Amino acid sequence: MRQRQQRSNYREHTEENHGEEYDKKPEKSGDLNRAKRRALHILERSDRTEQELRDKLAKNYLPEVVDAAVEYVKSYHYIDDHRYAVNYLNSRGKVRSSRQVEQELLYKKGVSKAVLEAAREEAEPQDEREQIRRWMEKKHIDPAAADQSELRRFYQFLMRRGFRSSDILTELLLDRTLN
């Protein structure tokens, strides 16, 4: 009974305020100290790229305030795109292909190509053929015993993960000849 009353109160409240006030977006703030605290709060939970932090702050603050807040956290080295890219390549590169991880850094995370190139040199090299073998174990794929449709599905799965066709075929054929 109580939930019904709450729902009807909510409906009445939204119907009353559906006019001009309801359509307004909240104004962006110009408070620099608040933007700095918000940036620190965002970075407290997890490491971010500069672009990700800018995007989050831009939702609530003016562009000048966002720039000042980002420069503030950069001055203390709380954000560093190079460090982020190296850590991201090392952690995500164990599961996905290096090409897919690099695309994520460039397009989703906003890391520049120059930073990505420098991070690639510093990151641990990933053996993609070893990753394919691990996926084969995890998905219980035995190329010698698998039928054509199962191998085709697995091949497509790995292609979507960004692995090279030559590496996939080499591992599937190599495993098939060894058994």
Nearest to 96 by CA among 51, 159, 142: 159
pLDDT at 25: 47
Q: Indicate if the pLDDT at residue 26 is higher than 80.
A: no
Residue with the bigger pLDDT between 172 and 68: it is 68
How confident is the model over 19-48, as a mean pLDDT?
A: 77
Task: Provide the sign of the torsion angle of the four alpha carbons 71, 77, 78, 83, taken in this order.
Answer: positive
Residue 110 backbone phi and psi in degrees, to 5: 75, 30
pTM above 0.85, yes or no: no
pLDDT at 47: 93
Nearest to 67 by CA among 78, 85, 53, 48: 53
Q: Whole-angstrom Cα distance, residue 175 to residue 55?
A: 46
Q: Whole-angstrom Cα distance, residue 108 to residue 112?
A: 11
pLDDT at 175: 61
pLDDT tens readout for residues 67-88: 999 999 999 999 999 999 999 9
Pair of tokens at residue 140? 């219980």
